[in-house]
Amino acid sequence: MPARRLRIGFLLIAVVLSAFGARLVQLQGVDPGSYAALAAAEGTVNVVLPAARGDIVDRDGQPLADSVDGLMVVANPQVTVARAPELAKFLAAELDVDYFPTLTKLRDRSRQFEYIARRVPSTQATDVIAGAEELGFQGLSTRRDPLRDYPAGDIAANLVGFVGTDQAYGGLEEVFDTSLSGRDGSTTYEVGAGNNRIPLGSNSTTPAVDGADLLTTIDRDLQWYTQRVLRQAVQGSGAESGLAVIMDSRTGEILSLADDPTFDANTPADSPNVDRGSRALSLAYEPGSVEKVLTVAGLVDAGKVTSRTRLTVPGRLDRQDRTINDYWEHGTINLTMAGVIAKSSNIGTVLAADRFAPGQLRTYLREFGLGERSNIGIPSESRGILPAGEGWTSQAEDRIAFGQSLSVNGIQMAAAVNTIANGGLRVDPSLVQGSATTDDGVAVGTDTTTTRRVVSENAARQTAQMMERVVDPEVGVAPRAAVPGYRVAGKTGTAQRVGAECGCYDGTNTVSFGGFAPANEPRFTIYVAIQAPTNGGGGGSVAGPVFSQLMSYTLQRYGVAPTGTTPSMLPVTW
């Protein structure tokens, strides 16, 4: 009997030792790496070290977008699992996070670190942790997590864009997201009982690389003023929307690019999606009579006319499939080329454009930049439409000569008018100072701009002198666009709009004004377009006063002295 019990004892010992031996072979011989890693992971915490996003600043370093102190709220599921449902309900209410995904994170016993909410304002995150502790919840903590802020609110918001929880949306934020974001770092360390860090345990840290700042050409104060003046005009005329562009005539730098309606980049969800993009870049529309100055500049450059060329202008012009009229009723009148521009005569422009060789007008318009993107750095920019091939008929050419049957965006038109201001030399518009590379790999900025000769200096000078007559109170159609003390060159525009639903002219108009000052030595070019005003006004009465206010403010802001010379007195009739 004792011997039997002894044998049974030895057998049990052998079984136990065999089990230990098999487990030892499994751990050390079959798959030692995975088991070692699993053991280490159970006592290891991995934490992201967020990079600070680069600032977007105006030309003087004033912030349009920057990063302020924020916190992430994190949890240790091995602690929070005990009261996960209650805690998930609390966090969903306090942090506006989804209940069920949060509950899953709080219950994951295999992890010691879970993100609950990112980029939470510091005071809010601190209050949440304090509130949780008061209710007896354990296992929550915070880590540094910079929060995107737009200190100027709606100023340049359509241009800058905004950053959501984990993604950049629109404008410069999205275009330069990679360089602005930088690169997050990380730290890994061992923890022991109670989730306390082991002082001499293994640890490693990869530091974060903060994002690069983006220096724009925008003047924040001028941008603020432009948006306020534009808003008054849109609301005062009962219009659908408006845009305004202010350029440095010599460099092509965009000092202000305004849209209305706009939105506050701190609370983008409060505004409809249509108001978050830049209409100055994405909206394509027919420019109307502002385009006439491009037609006339091309004619002068080609040697077809001068500012004093005499034209006999009938009260109506029957051409192919339709009759061309002027905006005012008249019989046969005698106008010079300068008079055609001053009075904005469609008929006179078409008669002058008849002197172009086949295809010559289209070539000039293409050189002015119509029908092609400006490559300013915003991919949502519209190309516009400049008909070609079978689309360029003689009927289309008549209408294109005075600004219908083609489409442009606001930046294109500003740059085209600026070509005349810049002595016939087109300079690329730019939004970024220096050079920066978009996420698509395109280099943009003032260091990358190019110039090209479009018309001669003589043609540009003659066209500018003709444009001065537009604001003359005695003969021009836009005296309200004048700026006291300064010579102003400009042109009105009123064009029929194509309705989105019918694909036809819907009875509404685009009214606009483009010009520059001082006319004899241009410093700034401004282009304004108002969509669908309901007060019956045209380019001279609706957009002209906006131009005047913006130009007056800009000239004074940059210390440009009054002109002190006599404006153009070219004859308008003969």
The rounded distance, in Å, linking the Cα atoms of 417 and 573 is: 25
Residues recorded for the chain: 574
Q: Are strands 425-427 and 451-453 parallel, antiparallel or unpaired?
A: antiparallel
Contact yes or no for 238/535 (Cβ under 8 A): yes
Cis ω for the linkage preceding 522 (within 30 of 0): no
Q: How far is CA 379 from each of CA 174, 375, 416, rounded to the nearest angstrom? A: 10, 8, 20
The rounded distance, in Å, linking the Cα atoms of 313 and 402 is: 15
Residue type, 156: A
Q: Are strands 44-49 and 140-144 parallel, antiparallel or unpaired?
A: unpaired
Encoded tokens for 35: 């088991």
549: Cβ–Cβ under 8 A, 6 or more apart, which residues? 229
* 541 in active site: no
Q: How far is CA 201 from each of CA 71, 77, 192, 499, rounded to the nearest angstrom? A: 26, 22, 9, 69
DSSP 295: H
What's the first-to-final CA gap in the chain, in angstroms?
142
Spatial CA neighbour of 511 closest among 535, 533, 482? 533
SS3 labels along 175-199: HCHHHHHCECEEEEEEECHHHCECC
Give 186's strand partners: 48, 206
Of 67, 181, 289, 382, which is the active-site residue? 289
The rounded distance, in Å, linking the Cα atoms of 47 and 143 is: 9
The rounded distance, in Å, linking the Cα atoms of 177 and 436 is: 12
Which residue's entry shows tokens 């005990």? Answer: 82
Measured torsion, CA atoms of residues 349, 397, 509, 263, in degrees rounded to the nearest 10:
-110
Spatial CA neighbour of 406 closest among 366, 376, 459, 350? 366
CA of residue 455 relative to chain centroid, distance:
30
Q: Tally Cβ neighbours within 10 Å of residue 394.
A: 11
Report which secondary-structure segment, H or E, holds 492: strand 489-498
Cis ω for the linkage preceding 518 (within 30 of 0): yes
Encoded tokens for 472: 């003359």
Spatial CA neighbour of 540 closest among 378, 357, 344, 388? 344
247: Cβ–Cβ under 8 A, 6 or more apart, which residues? 253, 254, 255, 414, 415, 418, 429, 524, 525, 526
- In this structure, what are the phi and psi dihedrals at residue 115, rounded to the nearest 5 degrees? -75, 130
**DSSP per residue over 206-235, as a string?**
E--BPPPPEEBS--HHHHHHHHHHHHHHHH
Residues serving a catalytic function are: 289
